[in-house]
Structure 1
Amino acid sequence: MEYPEPGSDGSVLGAGPPPPAGPSPSRFPTPSLPRASRVALPSAAPEPVRAAARVSPPPPAHVRAPVEAQSPAQPPAPVEPPPVQPPMPVEPPPPVEPPMSAGRSQRGGGGRWWQVVVGGAAVLALLALCGLGAAALLAERDGTPQTAPTSQPETAESADVEAQALDSRDTDQAPLTAKELFPGKQLVVADGEPAYKVLKSQSSASCAVAATGEVADLLVRLGCTQVVRATLRTPDGAHLVTTGLFNLTDRANAERARDRIRLLLDEREGRFRGMAADEDSAAIATAPARVGWQVRGHYLAYAVVARSDGETIRSGDTKAREILFDMIELHLNRGVLERRADGGTAGQPTDEDAGDTGTQDGSD
């Protein structure tokens, strides 16, 4: 707010007619202080702009007079508000980019350091991969195996080869011999078990000598060209057994013979023959007997069990079943045919009940 100049129409608080002459009630004159005016700021300005109030210099000393107290009887003159000038538009100052602090400078330097470390690690990894590839190529060129073969694939492959070796006479051309099946006068089927006594062994090119009726005809039709058999006495002497192998053309014909024999025995259209070695073993050829048979490869293994006294074997006789298992499974399958298949390497045994069993009467 500006003070009115001398001679203007403006009024000032406490101004009026010139004071009367005389001493001033106050020793020192009290100047009137200027009043600052508030300037409205525009809403669009980004920063507050402070407008300084323009203050006119105080009037000359010869104009100002001491001010005395106003009489209560005289009312004060009305004070008119001074005119307010609109604020001048102020342009916002250009934005100033704050200086980079020391912390940001250090962080920028640390980022560059990590880039150098990561780049170096990537280069080292690439060099290592190149070295491994070169070593692998050199090893392959030199014929060095990279990994050791496991034993499981070798075992499976050898089992397949063994199975194929016995599947046909084309892959198993060597004929059977009596010495291969029954090499001595004693036969031990398991360690610690008493020995069977071998009474007589035989090898024949006619399969009909070991069977009768439709059973013999079936074997001949399916290509049987050889039978090797022997008669043995059990360790306790209570039973006799004739056992051996029929040599057929292939596995398929051997399985056909196995399936057909049961029907022929049930219908009594043929039988396996027991082979007597002397008068004491005649019961094996004439007495009622228990029989069993089983296929492995192109071979049909069989056994005929009879009592030494010629009596009929009862259906619940477990001893006859044990003899059939000893001859067919332990001796012929796991012993003779296993050696023929793999040259002495032990293989997987077949199930105890895999073979077929039956009964046959004692008539020829």
Structure 2
Amino acid sequence: MVYRYESDEDAFLEYPEPGPAATPPPAGPSPSRFPTPSLPPARVTRPALDDARAPAPAPPAPAPTPGRPAPPGEPNPVPQPLPPVPQPVPAATPTPPPDATTRPTVPIPASPTFRATDVSELPRARHGDRRGGGRVWQTLIGGAAVLLLLSLTGLAVAALLDERAANPPASEPTAQATAPQADPPGRSDLDSRDTDQAPLTVKEVFPGKQLVITDGKPAYRVLKTQASANCAVAATGEIADLLVRLGCNQVVRGTLRSPDGDHLLTAGLFNLTDVASVQRVRDRIRPLLDDRQGRFRGMPAGDDTETVEKAAARVGWQVRGHYLAFCLVTRADGERIPTDDARAREIMYDLVELHLNRGVLDHRAAGGTAGQPTDGPTDDSAGQQGTDD
């Protein structure tokens, strides 16, 4: 509500003094002579608002004085616009007190090497540091495990390489096998008589009366030995002619009794010109034996040994260098030897492979310039019919 102080004295002058025209008072309410107390704005109600909007009543006209003309009437005051109705001011929302848990944000000036970080982020950063420390330990442990695995792998590879170096594979030739080497002195080349000129001797082929093939096993008994320049004395028919024609100039043979006494045998070496000539003889022996166009001849050694020359026999042969080794086996009682007689095959293997090849010829090759490997195992034995001559 707006308070105004009004009085008749403020409204007009009853008797104006002569003189210069007085300045009319300003329109509107006159200033109050007394200070208006400062009051809080009151809430305006609807009736009071209506009363404030109603025009103010005109001041009463003064009563006329006798003998004086009535003063001119005051014009009706122009109603002044009402001041705007103050709107109700909403109550100010009280600012809540700062939370004890909320930290004020303190800006940190940025620098080229430091990122401005809100203070509220510091606890989170410390938590991240703790997590970063765990990751560092995980990285260190993982790196140690990798190093340990690599070291174990290196040890395994080194052990494998050492084993391969100690035992090279058979498919990879060693440096010693491939490197050219001069033949050591004292060896002989058995491919030809030109490089193996020394003739055979009986003592070389049959050094004693007992022939031990394998240590710990019974010995063969040597009954008779012979060395001849006529190769035909040890063969008959086409086989004898073939030996002479291809250059055979020596035969050394012996007759022996088996350790069990049930078998008699004649074994020896033919001395031919070279490898080519002895291979031709080897290729012709079986067809000639199958066609009964010749045979190896057994050598009798006295009483009760004639069967080795006349009875049916099993025979085997083998080539080494320019030599042809042979062995024929008969039963001591003159009976025919069956083809599946394991004892006869064992005797031929003992005399041809173990004694003549690995014993006599290996010893001879060791005294020359080089050695010639054997041409393979002993050939299959063949049947040999006896004769009456």
TM-score, normalisation: structure 2: 0.52
Shift of 1:242: 0.6
Rounded Cα–Cα distance in structure 1 between residues aligned with 2:353 and 2:364: 15
**Cross-structure match for 2:138:** none
**Cross-structure match for 2:295:** 271
Say if 1:254 and 1:298, in contact at 8 Å, map to a contact too: yes
1:231 aligns with 2:231: no
What SS does the aligned partner of 2:242 have? helix
Summarize deviations over 1:78-135 as a string: whole Å, max 9, x none: xxxxxxxxxxxxxxxxxxxx986399xxxxxxxxxxxxxxxxxxxxxxxxxxxxxxxx
Rounded Cα–Cα distance in structure 2 between residues aligned with 1:205 and 1:245: 12
What SS does the aligned partner of 2:304 have? helix
Moved more, 242-251 or 313-322: 313-322
Rounded Cα–Cα distance in structure 2 between residues aligned with 1:161 and 1:261: 35
Say if 2:188 and 2:366, in contact at 8 Å, map to a contact too: no
- Residue type matched to 2:361 in 1? L
Summarize deviations over 1:16-40 as a string: whole Å, max 9, x none: xx9957449898xxxxxxxxxxxxx
**Cross-structure match for 2:195:** 171
Q: How does 1:44-55 map to 2 (within 5 A)?
A: none
CA 1:351–1:214 in 2, change beyond 3 Å: closer, same or farther?
closer
Rounded Cα–Cα distance in structure 2 between residues aligned with 1:318 and 1:307: 13
Rounded Cα–Cα distance in structure 1 between residues aligned with 2:223 and 2:180: 37
**Cross-structure match for 2:131:** none
Say if 1:240 and 1:305, in contact at 8 Å, map to a contact too: yes
Rounded Cα–Cα distance in structure 2 between residues aligned with 1:159 and 1:282: 52
1:101 aligns with 2:101: no
CA 1:152–1:214 in 2, change beyond 3 Å: closer, same or farther?
same
Shift of 1:236: 2.2
1:325 aligns with 2:338: no
- Residue type matched to 2:306 in 1? A
- Residue type matched to 1:70 in 2? P
Q: How does 1:122-133 map to 2 (within 5 A)?
A: none
Summarize deviations over 1:162-207 as a string: whole Å, max 9, x none: 9982222233222211111101111011111111111111112221
1:70 aligns with 2:83: yes
**Cross-structure match for 1:242:** 266
**Cross-structure match for 1:212:** 236
Rounded Cα–Cα distance in structure 2 between residues aligned with 1:159 and 1:252: 26
Shift of 1:317: 2.1
**Cross-structure match for 1:259:** 283
Summarize deviations over 1:281-304 as a string: whole Å, max 9, x none: 221111111111011222111001
Say if 1:243 and 1:303, in contact at 8 Å, map to a contact too: yes
Shift of 1:158: 10
CA 1:239–1:22 in 2, change beyond 3 Å: closer, same or farther?
same
Say if 2:190 and 2:372, in contact at 8 Å, map to a contact too: no
CA 1:334–1:101 in 2, change beyond 3 Å: closer, same or farther?
same
Shift of 1:337: 1.3
What SS does the aligned partner of 2:352 have? helix
Rounded Cα–Cα distance in structure 2 between residues aligned with 1:158 and 1:275: 46
**Cross-structure match for 2:64:** none
What SS does the aligned partner of 1:325 have? helix
Which stretches in structure 2 are left out of the alignment for 5+ residues? 1-25, 39-80, 86-109, 116-164
Q: How does 1:11-22 map to 2 (within 5 A)?
A: 20=28, 22=30
TM-score, normalisation: structure 1: 0.56
**Cross-structure match for 1:117:** none
What SS does the aligned partner of 1:280 have? coil
Q: How does 1:284-295 map to 2 (within 5 A)?
A: 284-295=308-319
CA RMSD of aligned residues (A): 4.0
Rounded Cα–Cα distance in structure 2 between residues aligned with 1:193 and 1:236: 11
Identity %: 57
What SS does the aligned partner of 2:333 have? coil
- Residue type matched to 1:266 in 2? D
